[in-house]
Amino acid sequence: MGIVFHIDANSAYLSWTAVEMLRQGGSEDIRLIHSAIAGDPKTRRGIILAKSEGAKACGVRTGETIQEARRKCPDLALFPPDHGMYARYSDAMYEVLLRYSPIIERFSIDECFLDYTASEALFGPPMEVAYRLKDEIKNELGFTVNIGVSVNKILAKMGSELEKPDRVHSLFPNEIGEKLWPLPIGDLFSVGGSARGKLESAGIRTIGDAARVGRPLLVSLLGKAHGGVVCDYANGIDSSPVVPEGGRERKGIGNSTTTAQNVTTLDEADRVLLWLSDKVGTRLRKHGRYGKVISVSMRPADFSKRAYGHQRRLDIPICSTDAIYAESKALFREAWKGEPVRNMGIYFSEISDSKEGQLSLFGSGAANPADTCLGAGAGDSAESEALDKAVDSIRARFGEDAVTRGR
């Protein structure tokens, strides 16, 4: 039986913004006032991405509009998101975690799983080290985290959610009945609004209820796959390993983002796709890899609807930002239903360390590749490779925001 930590930065976007403002000479810690990170504070459009404890006490919720939040909290101070800065703080947290284990899975920009199993002999008891790790992040980086400690990923993640902020919680199998089962069913990871409604309608109101009713009923309510997952998670069952970044990169590389406001036009979509292409291309080049199958996904602004998208197998694997951007624009145009979307992503599978492939008779014959989005199989141009190499070099020396791309 192993030991897994789940590390979750508290109100990450707001905390990281607060730390950065203080480091830049600011006199006020925005974590101590009614504050939030929102889409576009100047135009008052967009949604709340993170909020302070004070704003939370006023009823402000992540995901609601600025107007809704301001009605609850009239003196709410709003600050714009800065994803480049968030990535730097995420990386800084990751570097601290590496002191205790090389087996770290980045679950999201502000969450990581850490396999502590083999590290216990080196560093000591898990709970003692979890407290030490929490305090090191707080003292060295200036923000707080929650850490859940257990024998698998689902229990560690649920443990980290028990009480916030700046806490360490254990959730071992013998603690499930006391700590996990009394929680509302909507608190269980993988249970969204739609599933919660179905479960509550069937009288399943707590996680303990889901654990007791058994798999057949959950499957009948949610389907075989989802019902089975809910049954396992409610009982603290999860056999998935902690997959370190290198292990995952061999299978696929991608990035997605939830936008501050609805994307309603192709021009707005192209801006997001360029940003994502830059991120994905940088990751591919960092690992010396090329992508063979590219996918573009989008989720409607109505989050109750399923995400959808399109994918294409390329004749020549690519890693340049320009080629990724061109292919992703073509795929978006093929898949988009014209409805407002809020989340977009670009993902590569069939990753290799070679860009060798079969040249397409049709993909590279356009007079103006930019007009045709390069076409499948156009590959990376020498000019794009040289530009990317220069940009990567500058960013490595001066930070991710040293150079930004314009269309």
Give the tens place of pLDDT for each residue, 159-210.
Answer: 999 998 999 999 999 999 999 999 999 999 988 888 899 999 999 999 999 9
pLDDT of residue 246: 55
Residue 41 lies in a domain: yes
What CA–CA distance (Å, rounded) separates 319 from 249? 14
Indicate if 400 belongs to the active site.
Answer: no
What CA–CA distance (Å, rounded) separates 170 from 269? 43
- The last residue of one of the domains, among 234, 261, 295, is 234
Those residues whose C-beta lies under 8 Å from the C-beta of residue 85, and which sit 6 or more positions away, are 16, 17, 20, 401
Task: Provide the residue type at 73 as one letter.
Answer: C
CATH code of residue 20: 3.40.1170.60
- Verify that 303 and 343 share a domain, yes or no: yes
Q: Which residues pair with 40 in a beta bridge?
A: 45
CATH code of residue 309: 3.30.1490.100
What CA–CA distance (Å, rounded) separates 171 from 27? 39
Residue 56 lies in a domain: yes
- Verify that 303 and 225 share a domain, yes or no: no
Determine which one of 20, 28, 111, 383 is catalytic: 111
What CA–CA distance (Å, rounded) separates 364 from 375? 7
Which residues in the chain come in under a pLDDT of 50? 247-250, 358-378, 395, 398, 401-403
- Verify that 315 and 352 share a domain, yes or no: yes
- The last residue of one of the domains, among 83, 107, 135, is 83
CATH code of residue 204: 1.10.150.20
- Verify that 280 and 317 share a domain, yes or no: yes
Residue 378 lies in a domain: yes
What CA–CA distance (Å, rounded) separates 226 from 230? 6
- For the stretch 18-75, pLDDT in tens is 999 999 998 899 999 999 998 766 666 678 888 999 999 999 998 888 889 999 999 9
Residue 126 lies in a domain: no
- Verify that 218 and 327 share a domain, yes or no: no
pLDDT of residue 257: 81
Which stretch of DSSP H or E encloses residue 282?
A: helix 266-286
- Verify that 224 and 256 share a domain, yes or no: no
Decide: 46 and 149 in contact? Cβ < 8 Å.
no
- Verify that 327 and 212 share a domain, yes or no: no
Q: Is 363 helix (H, G, I), strand (E, B) or coil?
A: coil
- Verify that 223 and 259 share a domain, yes or no: no
pLDDT of residue 366: 33
- Verify that 310 and 387 share a domain, yes or no: yes
- Verify that 258 and 392 share a domain, yes or no: yes
- Verify that 187 and 257 share a domain, yes or no: no
Q: Closest by alpha carbon to 142, among 34, 20, 53?
A: 20
Residue 226, number of CB atoms within 10 A of its CB = 17
Q: Which domain holds residue 330?
A: 250-402
Residue 173 lies in a domain: no
Residue 7 lies in a domain: no
What CA–CA distance (Å, rounded) separates 30 from 16? 10
- Tokens 């897994």, residue located: 4
List of long-range contacts for 255-258, beta carbons under 8 Å, 24+ apart:
255/279, 255/280, 255/283, 255/345, 255/346, 255/347, 256/297, 256/343, 256/344, 256/345, 256/346, 256/347, 257/83, 257/343, 257/344, 257/345, 258/49, 258/342, 258/343
pLDDT of residue 64: 86
Residue 25 lies in a domain: yes
Q: Strand 77-79 vs strand 45-51: parallel, antiparallel, or unpaired?
A: unpaired
- The last residue of one of the domains, among 172, 206, 234, is 234
- Verify that 269 and 314 share a domain, yes or no: yes
pLDDT of residue 313: 85
Residue 364 lies in a domain: yes
Number of domains in the chain: 3
Q: How far is CA 159 from CA 7, 147, 168, 311, in A?
A: 10, 8, 8, 37
